[in-house]
Structures are given as C-alpha cells and as structure tokens.
Amino acid sequence: MAFSPKSIAQREPVWSTATVLVRLVLAAGFLSAVADRFGWWGPPHTGAVAWGNFAAYTAYTQTLTPYLTGALLDAAAWAATVAELVLGLMLLAGVLLRWTAWAASAVLLVFGLSMALFLGWEAPLSASVFAAAAAALLLALSPVSSFAFSFDRLFDRNDRLKLQR
C-alpha cells in the first residue's frame, strides 16, 4: 500500500489524536496566559514571566489598544482575561468545540493583528499567534467524529447511530 496523505488524514485515530493535541495546546496557551496575569507563574520580571500581575497585564493591554483609556481599558483587559479563561476551559472539556474553536481563532487573530499594528509584525510571528489561530481554525473545521474525549462527541447523533448498527 502506497503512502498517501489523504489516506492518513481519513483515518479517525489520526484526526482524533490531532484534535486532542490541538485542544490541549490551545487550552494550555490560554490558561497559562491567564495564570501569568495573576502571578501564578511568579512575580513580574522573573524568569519567563510576561506580566506577573494584573496591573502589568493592563499596561500591556494599553500598548495593544492605545485608543482605550480608563474604564474602557480595564474592561478590555478583563474581557480578554475572561474570554481566554472560558475558551481554555471549554477546549479542555470538549464543550461546543466547533464554536469554541471559531471563537479561539477569532480572538487569536484579533490579538495577532493588534500586536502587529502596535508592536510590529515580528511580535505575533515570534509568539506564534497566527500559527495558534490557524490551529484553532483547523480544529473548527475538523469532523465532530474526531473530537475524542469531548462532550460534543458523546452527544453526537451521527456517532450514536453508528454505534447502534
């Protein structure tokens, strides 16, 4: 049997493994960023800590959204934090994966474009923000049958019908 990328991609275990890995990596990225904002990775300016506290994160948010000030800036920092926390947890649990992946892709794309506009193109490219957005997009386009270890697959009607046959 000859090697064919198409034949490998059609095998369910390959898709299932890929979607689980993408979910875990994206969830880890979102949840790690949230943990950093609250100092769970350590204090500011130590090791690989990006912010170390919420005030430093809010200052970074100001860099990416210089058109926001005061209460709007605080709201944007909190909205991004809540969005990343919810997306991370939903990716881990496998809840509404297609919608969650679309939302993750959108959040990452907006973040990457904002980084590019206000920090330069090197910043989002070095942080692999667009690669993460593309991974989320691929997850959104993956077949539901490949969503192993997820609530979506558990409640997928087509999957249940296959099991009944």
- pLDDT tens for 34-70 read 999 999 999 998 888 999 999 999 999 999 999 999 9
- pLDDT for the residue 1: 45
In whole angstroms, give the CA distance from residue 144 to residue 137.
14
Sign of the dihedral defined by the CA atoms of residues 104, 110, 113, 115, in that order:
negative
pTM over 0.75: yes
Q: Name the token pair of 68.
A: 């926001």
